[in-house]
Structure 1
Amino acid sequence: MILSISSPFSLLSFILFFASPLIAAPEPATIYDHLHRHGLPIGLLPKNITRFSIDSSTGRFQVFLDQPCNAKFENEVHYDFNVSGRLAYGQIAELAGISSQELFLWFPVKGIRVDLHTSGVIHFDVGVVDKQFSLSLFESPPDCTAADPVDQSVALDGVSLGLDGAFS
């Protein structure tokens, strides 16, 4: 087959048409873009992120907040100054810097994974139990209120027992 291209415009159109699949998509600009690209909801991290870093080859990431803060979903969630983990499709492993409150106990969240999107369920691995939440709770980054600078809890082997006002 012989292809005849009569004008420079036609040649450019021909090259762009066949080369377009080879052009890489732009690198995600925000941590929320990275979450989305990995099949995770963007509401897993709060709005007040000041900067982030990610190693695209390993999925290791760090996000930095201007202050520790709390957000309310079904449960209260605490974010430290620094949150880190390893992104893979549909999950965050080796997570550090996020805790979830259950009754009056705080548990460090060690990982997060999304079931098939059709199930609408997201799982938080808090070590002693796997908490399930509706995926719809995490559709957008939550507002995060400054955490009390004086931590009035007692840590028990990675579990924090809140004693705020317990002895009045």
Structure 2
Amino acid sequence: MTLFLFSPFFFFFFIFFASPLIAAPDPSTIYDHLHLHGLPIGLLPKNITKFSIDSSTGRFHVFLDQPCNAKFENEVHYDFNVSGRLSYGQIAELAGISSQELFLWFPVKGIRVDLSSSGVIHFDVGVVDKQFSLSLFESPPDCTAADPVDQSFAFNAASLDTDRPFSTKEAQNLQLEDSELRATS
């Protein structure tokens, strides 16, 4: 009987049949969760250590030390908190990420990868579906502290509703912000 326990047959039996029964470790980083959901890890900036995720719903929250900007083809702004709902190949209900287009900032509402073989990732910015190369998001980007002037402008531009006229108060605020921006330039 002792001979059977140490035979090559037992060794191969254990490797091929018992090893799948050993549980894989839980993902330890938000980047692991992105990867497991078929998304590139470079969607979020480097050095994120604090996050929460509900594995039953896919809801996640990422906490950054400070708002910051990263450069891909466009400038991307990350708020203190980024949240959304992960499912395979997409992030829905996204909040806390904005993308710059020309001189305006737009909130990114969702991200999806239809086929990883296509090499394309889609950003839903509400008014348009932006396509980028997946290769831009292979690794987490460096993220530089956001300039407070740019940050205040980003939040106001992202919240503009261009289908309605501005109120007098909104127009005054935009004029004031414009004059403040010109004064600091």
What TM-score, normalized by structure 1, do the two folds share? 0.85
Contact 1:108–1:159 under 8 Å retained in 2: no
Structure with bigger strand share is: 1
* Counterpart amino acid of residue 75 in structure 1: N
Q: Give the Å deviation of 1:12.
A: 6.7
Structure with bigger helix share is: 2
The C-alpha deviation readout for 1:56-80, integer Å capped at 9, x for no partner, is: 1111111111100000011100000
Moved more, 95-104 or 14-23: 14-23
Q: Give the Å deviation of 1:166.
A: 4.7
The C-alpha deviation readout for 1:48-102, integer Å capped at 9, x for no partner, is: 3131111111111111111000000111000001101111111000100000000
What TM-score, normalized by structure 2, do the two folds share? 0.78
Does residue 158 of structure 1 match 2:174? no
Contact 2:112–2:123 under 8 Å retained in 1: yes
Aligned length: 165
Give the equivalent residue in structure 2 for 1:139: 138
Q: Which structure 1 residue ranges, 5 or more long, are not aligned?
A: none
Does residue 86 of structure 1 match 2:85? yes
Structure 2 Cα separation of the partners of residues 50 and 20 of structure 1? 30
Structure 1 Cα separation of the partners of residues 59 and 21 of structure 2? 26
Structure 1 Cα separation of the partners of residues 158 and 66 of structure 2? 24
The C-alpha deviation readout for 1:88-127, integer Å capped at 9, x for no partner, is: 1110001000000001111000000012112111000011
Distance 1:17 1:50, change over 3 A: closer
Structure 1 Cα separation of the partners of residues 131 and 2 of structure 2? 59
Q: Which structure 2 residue ranges, 5 or more long, are not aligned?
A: 162-173
Give the equivalent residue in structure 2 for 1:67: 66
Structure 1 Cα separation of the partners of residues 138 and 18 of structure 2? 35
Structural RMSD (CA): 2.6
The percentage of counterpart residues that share the same residue type is: 79
* Counterpart amino acid of residue 155 in structure 1: N
Contact 1:109–1:124 under 8 Å retained in 2: yes
Give the equivalent residue in structure 1 for 2:54: 55
